[in-house]
Amino acid sequence: MTINPDTLFRMLADPTRLRVLLLLTAEDELCVCELTHALALSQPKISRHLAHLRESGLLESRRAGLWMYYRLNPALPEWALSILQQTLSGNRDVAPFGTDHHALGNMPNRPDAACCA
């Protein structure tokens, strides 16, 4: 995979994309409905940012019926993954990142129970 520092840091510069990336670093894979719930943002806004992240090569997606799931691209270079992991580690309890993770943990009917219509 060819991702360069310029692309990574451009993606990290947007607060919404940073929040999405840190949640995915912590959770491995999330449905769009989980991201909208955790970040308390509209589906179109989340989807627009997910499209940018996917086009940049940072994310992969998969469809399961009507649901779209996203995860970090497993081919991310180690240096890029390390940046995400270190950022998460140092900010896990800092708002809004801690709040996002807490909201996700309190989400009723998470996707395994078919919530994402």
Distance in angstroms (rounded) separating the CA atoms of residues 72 and 58: 6
- Look at residue 61 and tell me if it is in a domain: yes
| Pair of tokens at residue 92 | 């896990």
112 has pLDDT over 90: no
Q: Which domain holds residue 9?
A: 5-88
For the chain, what is the largest distance between any 2 Cα atoms, rounded to a whole number of angstroms? Answer: 39
The DSSP element (H or E) to which 37 belongs, if any, is helix 32-39
Number of domains in the chain: 1
Tell whether 32 is covered by a domain: yes
User: Looking at residue 67, what is its pLDDT?
Assistant: 87
What is the structure's pLDDT at 66?
86
CATH number where 15 lies = 1.10.10.10
51 is a domain residue: yes
Report if residue 62 sits inside a domain: yes
- pTM for the whole structure: 0.91
Q: Is residue 37 part of a domain?
A: yes
Single-letter residue type at 91? N
Alpha carbons 57 and 63: distance in angstroms, whole number: 17
Residue 111 lies inside a defined structural domain of this protein: no
- 49-108 pLDDT, tens digit each: 999 999 999 999 999 988 899 999 999 999 999 999 999 999 999 999 999 999 999 998
Phi, psi of 71 (to 5 degrees): -150, 160
Give me the pLDDT at residue 111, please. 74
Give yes or no for residue 41 having a pLDDT over 90: yes
Q: Is 108 strand, coil or helix?
A: coil
